[in-house]
Structure 1
Amino acid sequence: MSSRVCCGTPKEGIGATPFYLVYGGEAVILAKVEVESDRLQHYYEDNAEMMLLELDLVDESRAKAAVRLMAYRQRMKQNYNRRVIPRSFQVSDLVWKKVKPVGDVTKLEAPWDGPFKVVEKLQSYAYYLEDEDGRRLERP
């Protein structure tokens, strides 16, 4: 028995499927299943009026999705900031610098380099560093 099935899962951040936000309706595909959902039982081949009514509400749905997405991002930011431990260093402190991988870096290489001496402290929690030989690093 061939029937129609809705596809797509609403995303947490926007509260709707991306397909719905783009096209104004849920995607319906053919599949072989035994039981139809209520939405599919009430699906009509010539439902142009219903589709036009749903298109009128698409802009409102997109606006709601944008608001939900902003709230979701705010929650994610708060959760991240809750776990971050602020650290501050003073001039002449010894610190280690995280190595940013470039090219072929294996997972067994050290992720830190140093020690470096803090030479200058900037307002934005950035620091100028100096290596063991007294050479100042170019970028903070």
Structure 2
Amino acid sequence: MTPFHLVYDGEFIVPVEVGVESDRIRVYDKNNAERRHLELDLVDEMRAKAVVRLMAYRQRMKQNYNRRVIPRSFQVGDLVWKKVKPVGDVTKFGAPWVGPFQIVEKLHSGAYYLEDEGGRKLERPWSANHLQPYGAR
């Protein structure tokens, strides 16, 4: 079953097949219209099967993705490492994490405002994807 068949309820004929006599054109007879009407009765069933397969595929993708996700949540006052954002001439031997930073505020979106050891609050919130518990390093 091709996408063309799902949309237009039939198979397409390539322009080359129209000019050059193919088996498809040669075998065409008057009963094709009747068979076509019978196929149209089954179109809804074919579409329903395609929807079920698509939903099963999406469910498998979701399970595969969720299996690899590492949930991270922090509370106000927790100490965390912050991932280093490479800017300019950063070598691969540099430390990937800096810290410790303390969580000052938790936003509803899962982002956190941080404060360094000197009490200076960072200007933007950080996603939990870029943070790691301080004791886990």
CA distance in 2, matches of 1:125, 1:98: 21
**1:139 Cα deviation after fit:** 8.1
2:33 match: 48
> Which has the larger Rg?
2
1:94 aligns with 2:80: yes
1:129 match: 113
Paired residues, number: 112
**1:44 Cα deviation after fit:** 1.6
**1:88 Cα deviation after fit:** 3.2
Sequence identity (%): 51
More helix by share: 2
CA distance in 2, matches of 1:121, 1:80: 25
Unaligned runs of 5+ in 1: 1-15, 100-104
* Cα RMSD (Å): 4.0
2:49 match: 64
**1:65 Cα deviation after fit:** 0.7
CA contact (8 A) 1:121 1:127 kept: yes
CA contact (8 A) 1:114 1:131 kept: no
3-state SS of paired residue (1:74): helix
TM-score (norm 2): 0.57
3-state SS of paired residue (1:27): coil
CA contact (8 A) 1:97 1:113 kept: yes
